[in-house]
């Protein structure tokens, strides 16, 4: 800072930064990407370790014996489910009661803003059934939750069976210090949302639910169980929750520790851990695992029933049983023992999980990258925007002078201390004139946010499409219509200097991406990856057609399209272009649904902030 | 935790010695005074009570001799001798000297859920006067440690309870003696006490020692003076709540270390009578455990010509069907307590076991062995209940085996849930660490009667209640409380106190909500485990619930102990007190794990970043004129001396 208070040195520094601006930006970008790719390289990452002492040293013994009986219960549940054509509420209530739980039900209903074609639902009505195992030693102050969704078809019957089996086994133990709530939720996330809102007596999404009759105090941790076969080959851990929130890393550590102890194959993102980090394929495997996590987190949607717990500061994860063609098989008793061990350790907790990291990425289940390591990657990208802003600021501050009059120019700079005074008087209305494109692009963003759902009825009337398609196509239409904006706005701008607009746009983008990355690193980083180079180098003097093409390619919607393909590719289910396009459409509709059903913030963020910001740059490109 | 237990050794010694004294009053002791310091703690005998019984002189003589380590052998001897000569001694002494009386009883109620509820009550009545500077120094059945507390601190009524677990009203019905989870203490002082707060502070510390509990954590921040909820239960018409103090410690954990001193207050200790059943490994292997001590002055007769002090020790425990009973609906004394009964306490004037057989008049629900022909009816909690009675003072109760092991065996496993007339629950709504809302739900299940309840809420200061958001609704309509007493909190000094008189409409749910803001504490004020959360004690709901049968308003009539605790003023309703669950609330908590990092980072940012930025923004920079050459400076000096303007 002493450097800056010396005018000569400051001038030198600024000269350096402005002269070498483009190369520095390029270097920063490359360094940022390289840093990010380096995160998956095992020597650069930390091994996971249990931070919570209450769960670390005390070993527990797992004795759950009744896997076969749990499967039988699961089959019985399946039969009753088929007979009832949905949730077998009465049977569940009776079964839970006979296992000595206090049983309660909750009814809920929700009308979706438009029909969900993936899950084929529009007006949703359902019932959650939950039983509370009262801890003998605690006065209903703390609770743990185990949930299994009641899915349509033949899915998840084993999970419900195991849940009931565990309930029966847990009920006969004396050591519980926290109430345990066994919840079977209908309509997966919608039921879960209703139950959580009922439990905490809030209403953030306008769902109708009947009040809960029984509670167990503040919930400390939750696990959601998905199990669809009698025998599994591996267990998969799902961590990504609503808005990219993650549970405390200790929950993942706990799962990993017990998988190791009991000898169950465990995966994250469906990827096994590999030990050959020094080979190219081993490294690329780690990169793929991490990229999957980044993309799932960036999507901001709950990737399992656990995802909604995180809003309430309840550490939660989903455990999925996978049955593939691997050799090594695990039976349900073993899964039950694993869950028993995890619950006993969670029961030992004195405080809620808080010792370990809340912000991390996992290139494998045994390694993690903490926020301190991944933030520099984003920082290197974000600094490009600041450098460009500085460059523009200096350009604006220096009135265009003849090159031979360099000395006079310098004197003028040095004599007038606060640089703001150097802006000529007439730029003040110019700054105001920048408001026009700002306001117009934000109005377009607002239209993109509000119109698709508002005008779905009109769209369905006039075009031969379903409601869901209508919403998505309206959104795409508005998005594309926004590209015509420059032809409408340029005439209102009085004394155009594109650099003022660009300066504001660049700073706006820096703030926007910075805030996003703090909340959801993955989303911020992916947006920065595509938007920053575009923002850095767009000027009205570039070749119009080529630049326009590049800009469209780098726009948020196209980024999303690429990510859909990339995601499918990483999951080893490559799709053709048509399928990918359909997937892209459904991802958009899911994003809108996630927003209105669970309060995911990605869609409003893109529509109301990122897209208008991108439009500003589009404006600059077509400046006249 | 060990550091929290404040155990005044001397008081314990008093207790031990006293137990010993009472148990050995018919026996010779050989004295080896290895612990002379203990003898010093023993009471000085005054002559006024000397002639009470023929045995007294003997007791007095031995008073000075007893020592700690003899206790075991002597008590064994006592037990043996009592076995040989069944309790004529006690009955005669109780009959001849009604001034001092001890009763014990155990009520067992098989619950519909398959669990079983056992409630012990021990009552010591003593016709004496602790008040008016009366020096009482001769103690027989009444524990001296408590007697001294009463006289030293001018206590009029004292109620203390320690509870582990939560009473499940919806499954178990109403308890005979309600208590909140954790520790609860409420005391009425005599109106002669001038510094009530100071006395209260001292009293809690002394009780903390007597009961080996953390009652010394009671201070002004969790003490309140309820204006209406806690009326004196004994005689006396002083109802000025300046002399009342009420405090709960919801976090207090109850364990054997609290049970042992409690047992030592009994005249027979745990050596004889019902108290032999109290084995801590069984009592704490249960889903509910509550022990309490209640001291109050009561009337001896209906005219109330003489008063006496009543000490009631109660212990309630619920054994769980699944964890203690291995899922079998079959209970016996041995299964519950891992002991059987062989005798009554020799000092007890009455020693009985009651088994609730109201739901089982023909023996169709469960089977009770050994059978008894003695039946008793009592009106308890607004209902007429029938009990099988086992009188332990009669030898034939124990049968030929000379031991009593009651067995209850269910015939069917069907059971309906109990539906108590009054039920309440409480929870915290909302998410995030800034605000929240406390919801208290009160259910009136009576089909056609409405009744009033008094709700008492004591909320710590660090939850800042927004009292303007207080709403009371029943059946969707606003229910205006007829009486509200609210005392706002003062930060770090006293808690919020909210008392309301609300009428509960028939068959309805009444919801009381109030919003609060979570305070950010000073960093030294956080507990060692701040992420666990902070406790808010139970709400207390006191109600007069419409009774099914006429209640007995004559409070001095001889009745089973469990039905005679709360005085009854009118026939049509009975008094019930229920407690809601305590709350666990998370407060905004700094990350204590890296204070050093945070301090370093903050200091660096402030010192370097902010400092120089501030400099840049506020200072004006100017190019300095280059220094004039030396020759020019000298020339200027000369010019100044000459009075000529200097060179530029």
Question: If chain A, 624 residues long, is cut into consecutive pieces of 10 residues, what is the mean pLDDT of each piece?
Answer: 68 85 93 94 89 77 90 93 90 92 93 86 92 90 94 88 94 91 92 94 90 91 93 93 94 92 90 85 92 94 93 94 85 93 92 91 92 93 93 79 42 42 49 79 92 83 83 89 69 64 92 94 94 89 88 92 92 88 92 92 94 90 78
Question: B322: which chain A residues are within 8 Å (Cβ-Cβ)?
Answer: 100, 171-172
Touching check for B234 and chain A: CB below 8 Å?
no
**Token pair belonging to A505:** 């746009």
d(CA B270, CA A238): 55
Q: Which of A6, A8, A14, A136 to mutate to test the interface with B (most CBs of B within 10 A)?
A: A136
Count of other CB atoms within 10 angstroms of residue A410: 16
**How far A101 CA lies from chain B's nearest CA (Å)?**
10
Q: Is the pLDDT of residue B509 over 80?
A: yes
d(CA A313, CA A248): 10
**pLDDT of amino acid A151:** 86
Task: Give the list of residues 6+ apart from residue A112 with CB closer than 8 angstroms, or none.
Answer: A121, A122, A123, A124, A593, A596, A597
Touching check for B621 and chain A: CB below 8 Å?
yes
Count of other CB atoms within 10 angstroms of residue A514: 16
d(CA A343, CA A317): 13
Taking the model in full, what pTM does it have? 0.85
Q: Is the pLDDT of residue B91 over 80?
A: no
CB A369, CB A65: distance < 8 Å: no
pLDDT band at B250; cut points 50, 70, 90:
very high
**pLDDT of amino acid A62:** 87
Nearest to A620 by CA among A448, A466, A441: A441
Q: Which of A141, A200, A218 to mutate to test the interface with B (most CBs of B within 10 A)?
A: A141
Count of other CB atoms within 10 angstroms of residue B447: 8
* pLDDT tens-digit series, residues B315-343: 999 998 887 777 778 888 988 898 888 88
What 3-state class would DSSP assign to A62?
coil
**How far A314 CA lies from chain B's nearest CA (Å)?**
10
Mean pLDDT of B55-60: 38
**How far A135 CA lies from chain B's nearest CA (Å)?**
8
Q: Are B586 and A352 a contacting pair at CB < 8 A?
A: yes
Cα of A467 vs its chain's centroid, Å: 26
Q: Which of A5, A136, A201 sits opposite B287 (nearest CB)?
A: A136
How many Cα atoms within 13 Å fall on the side-chain side of residue A414?
A: 16
d(CA A530, CA A610): 12
**pLDDT of amino acid A58:** 61
Nearest to B490 by CA among B455, B526, B517, B464: B464
Q: Are A136 and B320 a contacting pair at CB < 8 A?
A: yes
Task: Give the list of residues 6+ apart from residue A335 with CB closer than 8 angstroms, or none.
Answer: A67, A162, A227, A232, A235, A264, A321
Q: Is the pLDDT of residue B75 over 50?
A: no
* Residue A148: strand pairing partners: A184
Burial of B541 per CB tally in 10 Å (0-12, 13-18, 19+): buried
Task: Give the list of residues 6+ apart from residue A16 with CB closer than 8 angstroms, or none.
Answer: none
What 3-state class would DSSP assign to B484?
strand
pLDDT band at B26; cut points 50, 70, 90:
very low
Average predicted confidence (pLDDT) for chain B: 80
* A-proximal residues of B, 436-465, CB under 8 Å: 437, 439
**Token pair belonging to A142:** 């703390």
How many Cα atoms within 13 Å fall on the side-chain side of residue A522?
A: 25
Cα of A160 vs its chain's centroid, Å: 28
Task: Give the list of residues 6+ apart from residue A573 with CB closer than 8 angstroms, or none.
Answer: none
**Tokens 């001769």 sit on residue:** B138
Q: Which of A409-413, A462-466, B101-105, B203-207 has the lowest mean pLDDT?
A: A409-413
| Total H helices, total E strands in chain A | 25, 14
**Token pair belonging to B50:** 């000397």
Peptide bond into B76 cis (omega under 30): no
Range(s) of chain B covered by CATH 2.60.40.740: 422-585
**pLDDT of amino acid B134:** 64
CB A151, CB A121: distance < 8 Å: no
Class of domain B422-585: mainly beta
Range(s) of chain A covered by CATH 3.40.630.10: 53-354
Nearest to B282 by CA among B341, B327, B336: B336
Touching check for B182 and chain A: CB below 8 Å?
yes
**Tokens 């910075």 sit on residue:** A514
Report in angstroms the alpha-carbon separations of A567 from A237, A298, A550, A583, A600. Answer: 18, 12, 22, 11, 20
Sign of the four-CA dihedral A520, A525, A530, A536: positive
Touching check for B612 and chain A: CB below 8 Å?
yes
Nearest to A496 by CA among A399, A400, A427: A427
Report in angstroms the alpha-carbon separations of B381 from A291, B168, B241, B550. Answer: 66, 16, 27, 11
**pLDDT of amino acid A174:** 87
Touching check for B532 and chain A: CB below 8 Å?
yes
* Residue B313: strand pairing partners: B122, B293
Question: B616: which chain A residues are within 8 Å (Cβ-Cβ)?
Answer: 1, 4-5
Touching check for B593 and chain A: CB below 8 Å?
yes
Q: Are A200 and B529 a contacting pair at CB < 8 A?
A: no
Mean pLDDT of B173-200: 92
Q: Identify the CATH assignment for A53-354 out of 3.40.50.1820, 3.40.630.10, 3.30.1330.30, 3.30.70.360.
A: 3.40.630.10
DSSP type of residue A149: E
> Buried (b) or exposed (e) across B170-186, using 16+ Cβ within 10 A?
bbbbbbbbbbbbbbbbb
* pLDDT tens-digit series, residues B374-384: 888 888 887 88
Q: Are A5 and B583 a contacting pair at CB < 8 A?
A: no
**Tokens 């004006």 sit on residue:** B620
Sign of the four-CA dihedral A171, A173, A179, A183: negative
Touching check for B285 and chain A: CB below 8 Å?
yes
Question: A202: which chain B residues are within 8 Å (Cβ-Cβ)?
Answer: 429-431
**How far B348 CA lies from chain A's nearest CA (Å)?**
33
Rounded to 5 degrees, what angle do the CA atoms A37, A603, A237 make? 50
Nearest to B646 by CA among B631, B626, B632, B627: B632
B336 torsion bin: left (phi>0), alpha (psi -120 to 50), beta (else): alpha
Q: Is the pLDDT of residue B428 over 90?
A: yes
Q: Which of B37-46, B125-134, B388-397, B637-646 has the lowest mean pLDDT?
A: B37-46
Burial of B139 per CB tally in 10 Å (0-12, 13-18, 19+): buried
**How far B123 CA lies from chain A's nearest CA (Å)?**
28
* A-proximal residues of B, 148-177, CB under 8 Å: 163-166, 168, 170-171
**Token pair belonging to A164:** 């009931």
Q: Which residue of B has its CA nearest to A312?
A: B431
**How far B231 CA lies from chain A's nearest CA (Å)?**
26
**pLDDT of amino acid A605:** 95
Q: Are B612 and A4 a contacting pair at CB < 8 A?
A: yes
d(CA B404, CA B196): 48
**pLDDT of amino acid A488:** 54
Q: Are A139 and B621 a contacting pair at CB < 8 A?
A: no
Q: Give the DSSP H/E element, type plus range, for residue B220.
A: none
Question: A354: which chain B residues are within 8 Å (Cβ-Cβ)?
Answer: 531
Q: Which of A403-407, A509-513, B7-11, B124-128 has the highest mean pLDDT?
A: A509-513
Q: Which of B181, B287, B529 sits opposite A134 (nearest CB)?
A: B287
Q: Which residue of A has its CA nearest to B423?
A: A213
**How far A173 CA lies from chain B's nearest CA (Å)?**
6
**Tokens 């607009």 sit on residue:** A501
**Bridge-based pairing state of the strands A315-322 and A234-238:** antiparallel
d(CA B538, CA B541): 9
d(CA A283, CA A41): 6
Q: Are B323 and A354 a contacting pair at CB < 8 A?
A: no
A–B interface: beta-carbon pairs under 8 A:
107
């Amino acid at each position: 800072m002493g450097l800056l208070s010396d005018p000569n040195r400051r001038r030198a520094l600024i000269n350096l930064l402005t002269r070498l601006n483009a190369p520095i930006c390029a270097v920063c970008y490359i360094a940022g990407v390289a840093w990010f790719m380096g995160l998956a390289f095992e020597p650069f990452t930390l091994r996971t370790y249990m931070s919570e002492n209450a769960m670390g040293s005390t070993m527990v013994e797992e004795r759950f014996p009744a896997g076969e009986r749990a499967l039988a219960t699961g089959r019985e549940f399946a039969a009753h489910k088929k007979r009832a054509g949905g949730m077998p509420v009465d049977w569940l209530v009776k079964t839970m009661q006979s296992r000595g739980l206090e049983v309660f039900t909750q009814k809920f209903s929700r009308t979706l803003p438009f029909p969900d074609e993936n899950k084929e639902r529009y007006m949703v009505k359902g019932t959650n059934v939950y039983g509370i195992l009262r801890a003998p030693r605690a006065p209903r102050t703390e609770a743990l939750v185990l949930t299994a969704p009641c899915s349509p078809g033949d899915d998840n019957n084993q999970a419900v069976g195991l849940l009931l089996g565990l309930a029966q086994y847990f009920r006969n133990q004396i050591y519980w210090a926290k109430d345990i709530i066994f919840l079977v939720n209908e309509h997966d996330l919608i039921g879960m949302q209703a139950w959580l809102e009922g439990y905490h007596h809030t209403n953030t999404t306008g769902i109708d639910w009947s009040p809960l009759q029984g509670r167990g105090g503040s919930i400390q941790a939750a696990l959601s169980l998905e199990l669809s076969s009698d025998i599994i080959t591996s267990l998969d851990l799902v961590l990504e929750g609503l808005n990219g929130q993650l549970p405390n890393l200790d929950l993942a550590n706990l799962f990993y520790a017990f998988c190791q102890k009991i000898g169950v194959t465990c995966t994250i993102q469906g990827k096994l851990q590999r030990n050959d980090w020094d080979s190219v394929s081993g490294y690329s495997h780690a990169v793929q695992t991490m990229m999957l996590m980044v993309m799932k987190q960036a999507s901001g949607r709950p990737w399992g029933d656990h995802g909604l717990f995180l809003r309430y500061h309840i550490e939660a994860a989903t455990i999925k049983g996978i049955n593939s063609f691997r050799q090594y098989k695990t039976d349900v008793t073993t899964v039950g023992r694993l869950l028993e061990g995890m619950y006993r350790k969670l029961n030992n907790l004195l405080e809620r999980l808080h010792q370990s990291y809340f912000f991390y990425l996992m290139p494998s289940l045994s390694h993690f990258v903490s926020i301190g390591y991944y933030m520099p990657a984003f920082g290197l990208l974000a600094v490009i925007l600041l450098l460009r802003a500085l460059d523009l600021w200096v350009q604006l501050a220096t009135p265009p002078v003849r090159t031979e009059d360099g000395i006079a120019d310098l004197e003028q700079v040095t004599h007038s201390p606060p640089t703001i005074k150097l802006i000529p008087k007439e730029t003040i209305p110019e700054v105001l004139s920048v408001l026009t494109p700002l306001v117009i692009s934000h109005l377009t963003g607002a239209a993109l946010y509000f119109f698709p759902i508002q005008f779905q009825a009109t769209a369905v009337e006039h075009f031969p499409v379903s409601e869901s398609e209508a919403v998505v196509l309206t959104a795409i239409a508005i998005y594309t219509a926004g590209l015509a904006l420059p032809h409408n706005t340029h005439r209102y701008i009085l004394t155009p200097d594109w650099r003022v607009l660009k300066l504001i746009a660049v700073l706006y983008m820096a703030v926007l991406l910075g805030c996003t990355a703090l909340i959801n690193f993955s989303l911020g980083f992916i947006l920065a990856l595509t938007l920053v180079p575009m923002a850095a180098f767009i000027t009205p003097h570039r070749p119009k057609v080529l630049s326009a093409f590049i800009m469209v390619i780098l726009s948020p919607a196209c980024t999303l399209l690429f990510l859909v393909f990339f995601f499918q590719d990483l999951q080893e289910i490559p799709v053709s272009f048509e399928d990918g396009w359909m997937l892209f459409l459904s991802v958009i509709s899911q994003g809108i649904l996630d927003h209105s059903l669970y309060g995911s913030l990605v869609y409003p963020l893109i529509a109301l902030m990122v897209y208008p910001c991108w439009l500003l740059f589009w404006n600059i490109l077509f400046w006249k | 935790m060990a550091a929290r237990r404040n155990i005044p050794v001397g008081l314990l010694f008093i207790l031990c010695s006293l137990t010993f004294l009472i148990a050995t009053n018919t026996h010779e002791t050989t004295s080896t005074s290895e612990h002379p310091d203990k003898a010093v703690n023993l009471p000085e005998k005054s002559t006024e009570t000397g002639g009470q019984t023929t045995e007294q002189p003997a007791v007095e003589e031995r008073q000075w001799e007893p020592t700690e380590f003899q206790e075991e052998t002597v008590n064994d001897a006592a037990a043996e001798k009592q076995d040989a000569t069944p309790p004529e001694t006690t009955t005669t002494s109780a009959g001849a000297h009604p001034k001092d009386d001890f009763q014990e009883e155990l009520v067992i109620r098989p619950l519909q859920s398959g669990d079983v509820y056992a409630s012990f009550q021990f009552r010591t009545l003593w016709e004496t006067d602790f008040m008016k500077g009366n020096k009482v120094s001769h103690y027989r059945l009444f524990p001296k440690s408590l007697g001294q507390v009463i006289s030293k601190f001018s206590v009029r009524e004292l109620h203390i309870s320690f509870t582990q677990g939560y009473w499940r009203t919806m499954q178990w019905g109403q308890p005979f003696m309600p208590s909140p989870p954790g520790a609860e203490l409420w005391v009425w002082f005599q109106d002669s006490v001038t510094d009530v707060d100071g006395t209260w502070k001292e009293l809690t510390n002394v009780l903390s020692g007597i009961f080996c509990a953390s009652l010394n954590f009671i201070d002004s921040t969790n003490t309140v003076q309820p204006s209406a909820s806690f009326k004196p239960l004994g005689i006396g018409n002083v109802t000025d709540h300046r002399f009342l103090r009420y405090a709960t410690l919801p976090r207090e954990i109850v364990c054997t270390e609290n049970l042992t001193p409690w047992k030592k207050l009994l005249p027979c200790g745990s050596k004889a009578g019902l108290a032999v059943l109290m084995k801590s490994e069984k009592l704490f292997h249960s889903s509910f455990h509550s022990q309490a001590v209640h001291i109050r002055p009561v009337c001896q007769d209906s005219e109330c010509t003489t008063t006496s002090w009543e000490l009631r020790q109660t212990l309630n425990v619920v054994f769980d069907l699944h964890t203690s009973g291995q899922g079998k609906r079959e209970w016996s004394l041995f299964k519950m307590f891992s002991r059987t009964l062989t005798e009554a306490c020799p000092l007890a004037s009455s020693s009985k076991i009651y088994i609730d057989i109201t739901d089982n008049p023909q023996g169709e629900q469960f089977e009770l062995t050994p059978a008894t022909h003695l039946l008793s009816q009592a009106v308890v909690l607004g209902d007429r209940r029938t009990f099988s009675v086992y009188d332990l003072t009669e030898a034939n109760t124990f049968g030929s085996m000379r031991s009593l092991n009651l067995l209850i065996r269910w015939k069917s496993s069907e059971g309906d849930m109990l539906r108590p007339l009054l039920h309440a629950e409480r929870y915290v709504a909302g998410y995030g660490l800034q605000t929240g809302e406390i919801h208290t739900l009160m259910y009136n299940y009576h089909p056609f009667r409405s009744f009033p309840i008094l709700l008492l809420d004591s909320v710590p200061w660090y939850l800042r209640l927004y009292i303007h958001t207080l709403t009371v609704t029943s059946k969707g309509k606003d229910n205006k409380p007829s009486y509200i007493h609210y005392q706002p909190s003062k930060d770090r000094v006293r808690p919020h106190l909210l008392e309301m008189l609300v009428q509960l409409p028939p068959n309805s749910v009444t919801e009381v909500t109030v919003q609060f803001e979570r305070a950010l504490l000073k960093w030294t004020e956080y507990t060692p485990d701040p992420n666990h959360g902070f406790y808010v004690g139970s709400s207390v709901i006191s109600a007069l619930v419409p009774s099914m049968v006429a209640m007995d308003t004559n409070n001095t009539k001889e009745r089973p102990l469990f039905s005679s605790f709360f005085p009854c003023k009118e026939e049509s309703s009975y008094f019930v007190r229920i407690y809601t669950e305590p709350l666990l609330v998370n407060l905004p908590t700094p990350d204590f794990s890296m204070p050093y990092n945070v301090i370093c980072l903050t200091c660096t940012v402030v010192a370097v970043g902010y400092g120089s930025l501030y400099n840049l923004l506020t200072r004006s920079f100017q190019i300095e004129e280059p220094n004039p050459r030396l020759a020019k400076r000298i020339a200027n000096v000369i010019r100044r001396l000459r009075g000529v303007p200097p060179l530029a």
